Structure 1
Amino acid sequence: MGRVFVAGSINMDVVATAERHPKIGETVAGRQVLYFPGGKGANQAVSSAKQGVPTSLIGRVGDDAFGNELKAFLGSQGVDLSLVKETPGAHTGTAIITVAKADNTIVVVPGANARVDADDVAAASLTEDDVAVSQFEIPLPAILALFERARAAGAATILNPAPAMACSAELLDLVDILILNESELGFLTATEFSGTGNPARLVEAVRSLSTGDKIVCVTLGERGAIALIDGQPLPIAGRKVQAVDTTGAGDCFVGAFAAQLASGNTIPYALAYANTAASICVQRMGAGPSMPTAAEVKALLSAGRPPRADP
């Protein structure tokens, strides 16, 4: 079994729940304020670790109460924190999240996450059996450095380009597997998607990103996912569930997928597994704490629950 190395953000999520999202300039009454461990890097690391795969997180927290709380939580989830640094004089990353009718809006204040650099990833000792994962909530030079190390070691690389932003062709060339949602796909391909799901348009957009042997997977929420592998589209059927909070669902997918890849499973199986894990995640509040265990995912898979139609 290989290991998963996740370089990414570590945040405290401050969640306000309300009946609906406010319009610009409007104030609405909220229901409650909740605090959850989060950050895309931390979420993906927890998702991977809870599948029973050795998982190391590379990142930074501040020298404050949030940082201490987050390290305690991550350690309790089985995440290796030996590559997480405490940054004096910086606050821990914070996300301000509004949840209404299971949909969310998020404002992220990076804090210590903005200090992650190439030196932070230098201590990661990768082998050809390992998987390196990152997202766009830490500086791009750190991601480039990690993927260069991974490529040199023969390890697989997974990029979740979120939040969407422009990046260099040099970085994309180092990516083996690109996992993104419709919004991010639209940004990277300058294409507008309605969210209703048009497989032909999705595949056309995905092909423009699938250079060389790169695998591209677009997550579609309750409609499942669609991947392009060796030039052929592979639809992953959705699962109809009662969503409570979609925060962290994409991170759950990425982490669970990376864990299955590090375990030596096939890409199609890993995608179906990750989609099932994400369907469990959205039925719980919070990001980090909502990640399911391997036992929960396998129980749902073995139950033979009929999936929804392909997207």
Structure 2
Amino acid sequence: MIYTITLNPAIDRLLFLEKTLVKEKNNRLSKVEYDLGGKGHHGSFAMSTLGVENQALGFCGTTNKSKLEKILKEKELNYDLVEVYGKPTRESYVILEANVSGSILITEKGFRVSSYDIELLTEKIEEKIQEKDIVLIAGSMPPGFELRDLEELLHVLKKKNCFIACDLSGTALTKAVEVGVNFIKPNAFEIQEIVSAENPLLENLKELSKKIDYVVVSQGSEGSICSHDGEFYQITVPKVVAVNDTGAGDCFVGAFLANLSLGKPLTETLAFASGCAASKVQYTNSTTFSVKEAKLLQKKVRVEKLQMD
């Protein structure tokens, strides 16, 4: 079973502009749509789309719970969330300009969680997670959820002897490396922060791979680099026209863990996950991708083993 944990959930509000964004001008909207927000939720959607059983855990606010649940049900996600009473789930604003590639993302901080809320989530996790399960912790930490709380959560999962994947950033990512999780997806700058600002990327990756089973270094449209079991791979992705890149990395992580759970070879898993992410950026919302399209794009992905000294 795969579980995703979204500590700081969101509802994505997609703002479609009639033209390009201009300061000091009334920028008119052509339409507004809502989609699922939160990196863990995006990962769950990717897994569900691929037919891999999973459940979304984490927090949700009660004052706009019906809005979030409506989206979760529309996306056909299996979820079991801890309700934080009297608080609204935050919104993320995704601005899409007419005839402009990519998107602008603006996020709220999110509601504050209490020690009681954290205790309820921990109890739920301890009750559900079994050995050999896969657990993905993804996204930012909400106000009130401190670094020590993340460390305690990671130690709870370590005791379960499950596979721990973390798509985190900043001090949370550093803590995940310190504890010793199984999967991380940093970018090149984050690897410098964790290991050394003086070393070249591959040297830092080699050092990091001694502690983390799977490290995927995101390089955006240039693809990624992966390390596992003493081997290193350069992944080159096909060029596509990006409409909305929000959620592309989450789609990659969801597809990667889904294929990993099915026992697929690593090179195939990397190529397919990259194909899913390349498909995702071509859609206007934060989650949609085409499995059929991803399989076609997978054939254009190059996964090459790197020779390391």
Work out whether residues 166 and 188 of structure 1, in 8 Å CA contact, stay in contact via their aligned partners in 2. no
Task: Summarize deviations over 1:143-170 as a string: whole Å, max 9, x none.
Answer: 4344323322221111112xx3223865
1:183 positional shift: 4.9
1:106 positional shift: 2.4
Determine the structure 2 residue equivalent to 1:156.
163
How far, CA to CA, are the matches of 1:227 and 1:184 in structure 2? Answer: 15
Change (3 A) 1:234 1:4: same
Work out whether residues 132 and 147 of structure 1, in 8 Å CA contact, stay in contact via their aligned partners in 2. no
Determine the structure 2 residue equivalent to 1:268.
267
Determine the structure 2 residue equivalent to 1:196.
none
Q: Tell me the C-alpha RMSD between the 2 structures.
A: 3.0
Query: The residue matched to 2:124 in structure 1 has which SS?
Result: coil
Q: How does 1:251-262 map to 2 (within 5 A)?
A: 251-262=250-261
Task: Summarize deviations over 1:257-280 as a string: whole Å, max 9, x none.
Answer: 111122222333222221111011
How far, CA to CA, are the matches of 1:73 and 1:167 in structure 2? Answer: 28
Determine the structure 2 residue equivalent to 1:307.
301
- The farther-off stretch of 114-123 and 230-239 is 114-123
Determine the structure 2 residue equivalent to 1:235.
234
Change (3 A) 1:128 1:269: farther
Query: The residue matched to 1:117 in structure 2 has which SS?
Result: helix
- The farther-off stretch of 123-132 and 251-260 is 123-132
How far, CA to CA, are the matches of 1:144 and 1:75 in structure 2? Answer: 31
- The farther-off stretch of 111-120 and 216-225 is 111-120
Task: Summarize deviations over 1:225-263 as a string: whole Å, max 9, x none.
Answer: 111223432112212211111000011011111111222
1:226 aligns with 2:222: no
Determine the structure 1 residue equivalent to 2:56.
57
Work out whether residues 278 and 297 of structure 2, in 8 Å CA contact, stay in contact via their aligned partners in 1. no
1:89 positional shift: 0.9
Work out whether residues 93 and 106 of structure 2, in 8 Å CA contact, stay in contact via their aligned partners in 1. yes
| Structure 1 letter corresponding to 2:124 | A
Determine the structure 1 residue equivalent to 2:171.
166
- The farther-off stretch of 6-15 and 243-252 is 6-15
Determine the structure 2 residue equivalent to 1:97.
94
In the alignment, structure 1 segments of 5+ residues that lack a partner are 193-199
| Structure 2 letter corresponding to 1:120 | L
- The farther-off stretch of 146-155 and 277-286 is 146-155
Task: Summarize deviations over 1:38-82 as a string: whole Å, max 9, x none.
Answer: 1112111111221211111111222234x3122232234332212
Determine the structure 2 residue equivalent to 1:7.
5
Q: How does 1:274-289 map to 2 (within 5 A)?
A: 274-288=273-287
How far, CA to CA, are the matches of 2:148 and 2:44 in structure 1? Answer: 20
Determine the structure 1 residue equivalent to 2:79.
81
How far, CA to CA, are the matches of 1:86 and 1:292 in structure 2? Answer: 32
Determine the structure 2 residue equivalent to 1:179.
185
Determine the structure 2 residue equivalent to 1:127.
130
Report how many residues are paired. 291
| Structure 1 letter corresponding to 2:180 | L
How far, CA to CA, are the matches of 1:142 and 1:79 in structure 2? Answer: 26
How far, CA to CA, are the matches of 1:144 and 1:170 in structure 2? Answer: 7
Q: Rg larger in 1 or in 2?
A: 2
With a CA cutoff of 8 Å and minimum separation of 6, indicate the structure with the bigger relative contact order.
1
Work out whether residues 166 and 181 of structure 2, in 8 Å CA contact, stay in contact via their aligned partners in 1. yes
Q: How does 1:196-215 map to 2 (within 5 A)?
A: 201-215=200-214
How far, CA to CA, are the matches of 2:50 and 2:186 in structure 1? Answer: 21
- The farther-off stretch of 43-52 and 131-140 is 131-140
Query: The residue matched to 1:247 in structure 2 has which SS?
Result: coil
Query: The residue matched to 1:59 in structure 2 has which SS?
Result: strand
How far, CA to CA, are the matches of 1:6 and 1:159 in structure 2? Answer: 10
Work out whether residues 131 and 261 of structure 1, in 8 Å CA contact, stay in contact via their aligned partners in 2. no
Work out whether residues 148 and 174 of structure 1, in 8 Å CA contact, stay in contact via their aligned partners in 2. no
TM-score, length of structure 1 as denominator length: 0.80
